[in-house]
Amino acid sequence: MSSETLHLGVMANSVVRELANIGLAHATTAMAELTGKTFDMAVPEVESVALERLPSILGDPNGLTVATYMSIDGDVGGHIAFLMPWHSAQQLWLMLVGDAPTSPDDVSDLHASVALEVGNMVNAGLLNSISDMTGLSLHATPPQVSMDMTAAVVASIVCEASFVDSVALSIQTEIFDLSHRVSGFFVYIPTVGGLRSVFQSLGVLEAA
C-alpha cells in the first residue's frame, strides 16, 4: 500500500474532530496555567491529506514558524507537532521571559527551552486526551524545536513519517489569548495501524 491518503468517513472524521476538541481543551488549559493568561480556542477543522501535500496546505510556506515536534511510540505510533507563527512565539516569549529575539539567529538557550516546554505541554495535552479516551498507550519521545520556514519544518516531519504508512491530519485551529496575539495549530500524523486502533477502541468503523 502506498502512503496516499486514507479516506476518513464522515463518522471517523467527526471522531477525530472530537478527540482534537478535547485534546485542544487540555492544551489550552496548559497554556493558561503556564502564562497566567486566559486562552480560547476555535473549533478545530480536521483534514486528512496525502502526506506530501501537507506542507502546501499550511498557510504561507515561506513564513517563519516555531515548531515543537515529537515522535510517538506505543499502541498509536506517529508524529505530532505544534506550530506557532514567529510573531506568536515572540508574544509568548514576552509573556514568559520578558523579552523576545527579533530573528531566529538571536534565539538564546532560554528562549529555545521555553519554546520547547510550551510545545511539549500542548502536544502532551493532545496525546493524553487520546490516551485517556481510548485506553491506548502513546509515548512521546523528547521534543525537538525548529525555528524556520513553515514548509521546510513540515516537510522534514513528513519525511520522518513516510517510513511507515501514515495518515496526515492537519488539525487547523487557533489557540489564542483574548487579545488575539498568540495563535498556533497542530500537525498530527498517526500511523495507519495506530489510527485503526483508535477507531477500534472507540467502536467506530473508519470508512462508515
Partner 1 sequence: MAVASNVLVGMAEIHVLKGSGGFSCLGLGSCIGLCMMDPTAQVAGMAHVMLPEAFADRAGEKPGKFADTAVPELLALLEKAGARPERLVCAIAGGAQVFKFGAEGTNRLEIGRRNAEAVLTHLKSRGYTPRGQEVGGSLGRTMTLVIETGIITVRTVTQGEKTLCNLRA
Per CB under 8 A, 141 contacts partner 1: yes
Give the dihedral sign, CA 103/172/21/17.
negative
Grid coordinates of 99: 523579552
Query: Site for partner 1 (CB under 8 A): which residue of 22, 34, 96, 116?
Result: 116
* Count of positions on this chain that bind partner 1 (CB under 8 A): 43
Per CB under 8 A, 152 contacts partner 1: yes
Per CB under 8 A, 150 contacts partner 1: yes
Query: Site for partner 1 (CB under 8 A): which residue of 43, 99, 160, 178?
Result: 160
Query: Site for partner 1 (CB under 8 A): which residue of 143, 184, 190, 194?
Result: 143
* Nearest to partner 1 of 159, 207 (CB atom): 159
Which of the ranges 13-21, 151-159, 171-179, 181-189 carries the binding residues for partner 1, by CB under 8 A? Answer: 151-159
Per CB under 8 A, 5 contacts partner 1: no
Cα(204)–Cα(198) distance, integer angstroms: 9
- For residue 134, the minimal CB distance to partner 1 (Å) is 26
Cα(66)–Cα(46) distance, integer angstroms: 21
x-or-dash pattern for partner 1, window 68-107, by CB under 8 A? -x---------------------------------xxx-x
Query: Site for partner 1 (CB under 8 A): which residue of 154, 171, 187, 189?
Result: 154
Query: Site for partner 1 (CB under 8 A): which residue of 151, 168, 182, 187?
Result: 151
Query: Site for partner 1 (CB under 8 A): which residue of 155, 192, 202, 204?
Result: 155
Query: Site for partner 1 (CB under 8 A): which residue of 1, 36, 98, 135?
Result: 1
Per CB under 8 A, 64 contacts partner 1: yes
Secondary structure of the chain in HEC code, one letter for each residue? CCCCCCCCCHHHHHHHHHHHHHHHHHHHHHHHHHHCCCEEECCCEEEEECHHHHHHHCCCCCCEEEEEEEEEEECCCEEEEEEEEHHHHHHHHHHHCCCCCCCHHHCCHHHHHHHHHHHHHHHHHHHHHHHHHHCCCEEECCCEEEEEEHHHHHHHHHHHHCCCCECEEEEECCEEECCCCCCCEEEEEEEHHHHHHHHHHHCCCCCC
